[in-house]
Amino acid sequence: MSNSGGNVDTVMLEKRLFPPPAEFAAKAKIGSLEEYQKLYELAAVDPVAFWDGLAKTELHWFEPYTKTLEWNPPFAKWFVGGKTNASYNCLDRHLDGPRRNKAAIIWEGEPGDQRTLTYQQLHREVCKFANVLKARGLAAGDVVSIYMPMTPELVIAMLACARIGAVHSVIFAGFSAEAIAERNNDAQARMVITSDGLWRRGKLLPLKEAVDQALAKSPTVESVIVLRRVGNDVNMQAGRDYWWQEQMDEASADCPATPLDSEHSLYILYTSGSTGKPKGIRHTTAGYNLFVKKTFEWVFDYRDEDIFWCTADCGWVTGHSYVVYGPLSAGATVLMYEGALNFPAEDRTWDIIERYGVNVLYTAPTAIRACIKWGDAHVEKHDLSSLRLLGTVGEGINPEAWMWYHRVVGKERCPIVDTWWQTETGGIMMSPLPGAIPTKPGSCTKPLPGILPQVVDERGNEVDRHHGGWLTITHPWPGMLRGIWGDDERYAKTYWSRIPGKYLAGDNARLDDDGYFWIMGRIDDVINVSGHRLSTIEVESALVSHPNVAEAAAVGRPDDLKGQAIAVFVTLKNAEPDEALKQELKLHVRKEIGALAQPDDIHFTNALPKTRSGKIMRRLLRDVACGKESTGDTSTLEDYTVLARLRAEEE
Ligand code: WTA
């Protein structure tokens, strides 16, 4: 054990503890801490045997595997030699029992249109579309870019690719033509699936136009399939572009799933690195499928009668794992919503929950903070009694935002699962099991069975409890990325070189006395004040606990005296920015977590720069804080005007 080196100091002490409600625990599949501990210990002693036992029963095998894990660090192969198919596991497996006529997807469009697809209907659509792909000459191993609105057809397209072994690369339908072209080229995509347009806050976004521009620079793309969604005029190039609906009319519904090697690539998903070009994270078939199915069942305490709503878009990994592959392979009913959560009004989320009787809500801290800002009245006018479980993902949740979620949405009755994971991990790595693990606001609590995390210093030694350090995973797991598309070297360097033999997540974390994990933000975001390394989330959470702060982002800027000074960017609720409030916020942080963490600069702003999936882009704020132009990749920035406005506010 060590407490030296590059550790991060913690200044936040959160003492509140919420045991699983007795009623919830009584019905839960894993209903006590002892049960969790037993399962965790069993898996930890021999993770390979643990996953082997699950894989045999949880997936359908066309051919059994001969070896559970082949580990040539940093390259892992799981269930070697087996043949399976993710589309088969998500669909065909449910067709010979009562789930056949169960709703797989209940969908609502932004304008309010609704559709429901049973497992049998979804299977039929997927088979037909798989035949459309084949008719265009696609086969196993070919890459298909998907740039679509959150419609059932997006899921159909993903599963149809999986069915024939084509590798999908979903590109968030809000990225620019430039970003599409870059991804098409990196992956050598042969096809793009898109739609005429999409609805966003009542406005039309012309998707096909962006694809047309991208194709001028995407020489590998041979054909385009276009779904009619909005009805706007689009340019269709003969011999290249085909209407989805016309192709489907002609397609047969008979398309057996292709038996695919366990390690066959299922998908690529691009995620932005802090600098340079985006990384194509590669996931494969069997291990990923098993991991998302089991983590879905464990974390959401899955019940057959549930309606599960994950608000994530399929343009990022949460949509892949917990809108599509996890819930569907578990036979769940997924609610899918196309549009913005505040359209036509700020109560759309709660309205949807009430109207469909949603039981489990899985969303992001950024959405929760927005709801807090919009006000409790939007929530309170709806009957949310169907909810039994709440979840968050994507960023750390500030304890006060957690408390609001717990009180105002969950009525102190629903456990909250704060799930830590990454595009690279494929599925949830750490999270409370809601019937078993008491929760603490702001902590993702404990690792899931089969996951072995360790917090280490720069030399790879485990740090003492309460000392922050680098979060690593010490044993391979089935859902882990298998590489960066076309760049093994970057894969090895990014994740496996700084701490040899361990997966480096790139996040800071610490353990408390109860063995709970606290994620402290990205490694690169640490602020070093007079030799004390502070985590961004702790300063931000102290700010968010002030009644007038809606959101906050903390970054370091160079300071001659202290090394770094703390600059914070704050959005307000129920208050006007002024000098007095600045002073008050400084003192508030000082009182909450200490003089060391007192911000030097406070910038008030209307909005923070965020990624499309809602993460605060601190790297860009660092540039603003030191008065620099940003140089890094901004292709994932949600609202380009935010940076310009922030700079203007500085002048
Ligand atoms: C952050 C999203 C704290 C973290 C599934 C991670 C979190 C990155 C949490 C991955 C959480 C995600 N608490 N931080 N519960 N969940 N993060 O690839 O920094 O979009 O490394 O995957 O988000 O983001 P990604």
State the pLDDT at residue 198. Answer: 96
Across the range 625-629, mean pLDDT stands at 79
pLDDT band at 593 (very low <50, low <70, confident <90, very high): confident
Does residue 633 fall inside a structural domain?
Answer: yes
Residues found in the chain: 651
Query: Which pLDDT value is given to residue 514?
Result: 95
Q: Nearest Cα to 50, choosing from 501, 598, 447, 623?
A: 447
Average pLDDT of span 322-331:
98
Q: pLDDT-based confidence at 13, cuts 50/70/90?
A: confident
* Domain count of the fold of the chain: 1
Judge whether residue 2 has pLDDT over 50: no
Domain that holds residue 608: 525-650
How many CB atoms are located within 10 Å of the residue 569 CB?
Answer: 27
CB of 429 sitting under 6 A from ligand 1: no
Atom of ligand 1 nearest to the CA of 431: 15
Closest C-alpha residue for ligand 1 atom 22:
422
3-state SS assignment for residue 276: coil
Per-residue pLDDT, averaged over 117-145, amounts to 98
Structure-model confidence comparison of residues 123 and 628, the more confident one: 123
- Give the H or E element holding residue 552: strand 549-559
State the pLDDT at residue 480: 98
Nearest Cα residue to atom 11 of ligand 1 = 420
Q: Would residue 566 count as lying in a domain?
A: yes
Residue 275: which of 621, 616, 626, 620 has the closest Cα? Answer: 620
Cβ–ligand 1 contact at 613 (below 6 Å): yes
| pLDDT score for 24 | 97
Residue 640 reports pLDDT greater than 90 = no
Residue with CA closest to ligand 1 atom 4 = 395
- As a whole number, the mean pLDDT across the chain is 94
Residue 55 lies in a domain: no
Give the range among 237-251, 353-367, 423-437, 557-571 with minimum mean pLDDT. 557-571
Residue whose CA is at the smallest distance from ligand 1 atom 8: 422
Q: Which of 420, 444, 612, 618 for mutating ligand 1's site (highest number of atoms within 8 Å of CB)? A: 420
The reply to whether ligand 1 has any atom less than 6 angstroms from the CB of 82 is no
CA of 523 to the centre of ligand 1 (A): 12
Kindly state the average pLDDT of the residues 551-580: 93
User: Does the C-beta of 368 come closer than 6 Å to ligand 1?
Assistant: no
What gap in Å lies between CA 480 and CA 503, rounded to an integer?
10
Report the nearest-CA residue for atom 12 of ligand 1. 394
Residue 548 located in a structural domain: yes
Residue 611 lies in a domain: yes
Pocket lining: 364 vs ligand 1, CB cutoff 6 Å: no
Question: What's the rounded Cα separation, in Å, for the pair 374 and 503?
Answer: 40
State the pLDDT confidence band at 387, using cuts at 50, 70 and 90.
Answer: very high
Q: Answer yes or no: is pLDDT of 38 > 70.
A: yes
Tens of pLDDT along 39-53? 999 999 999 999 999
Q: Pick the residue with more confidence: 3 or 426?
A: 426
Q: Residue 585 and residue 47: Cα distance in Å, rounded?
A: 47
> Percentage of the chain with pLDDT > 70?
96
- d(CA 650, CA 83) in angstroms, rounded, equals 58
Residue 593 domain-assigned (yes or no): yes
In a domain, 260, yes or no: no
The residue written with tokens 């480096």 in the block is 504
Is 34 part of any domain? no
Residue 481 zone, left/alpha/beta (φ > 0; ψ -120 to 50; rest): beta
> Quick one: what percent of the chain has pLDDT higher than 90?
87
CB 473 within 8 A of CB 451: yes
Reported as a single tens digit per residue, the pLDDT across 279-320 is 999 999 999 999 999 999 999 999 999 999 999 999 999 999
Phi, psi of 145 (to 5 degrees): -85, 140
Convert the pLDDT of each residue in 525-556 to its tens digit: 999 998 888 989 999 999 999 999 999 999 99
Q: 270 C-alpha to center of ligand 1: Å?
A: 15
What integer pLDDT is reported at residue 612 of this predicted model? 80
Does position 3 have pLDDT exceeding 50, yes or no?
no
Query: Which atom, in ligand 1's list, is nearest to the CA of 420?
Result: 15
What distance in Å separates the CA atoms of residue 138 and residue 525, rounded to the nearest whole number?
43
- CATH number for 638: 3.30.300.30
3-state secondary structure 225-262: EEECCCCCCCCCCCCCEEEHHHHHHHCCCCCCCCCEEC
Question: What string of H, E and C letters represents the secondary structure of 282-312?
Answer: EEECHHHHHHHHHHHHHHCCCCCCCEEEECC
**Mean pLDDT (whole number) for 224-237:** 98
Task: For strands 223-227 and 191-195, give the pairing.
Answer: parallel
Q: Kindly report, residue by residue over 457-503, the tens digit of the pLDDT.
A: 999 999 999 899 999 999 999 999 999 999 999 999 999 999 999 99
Once rounded to an integer, what is the mean pLDDT over residues 185-212? 97
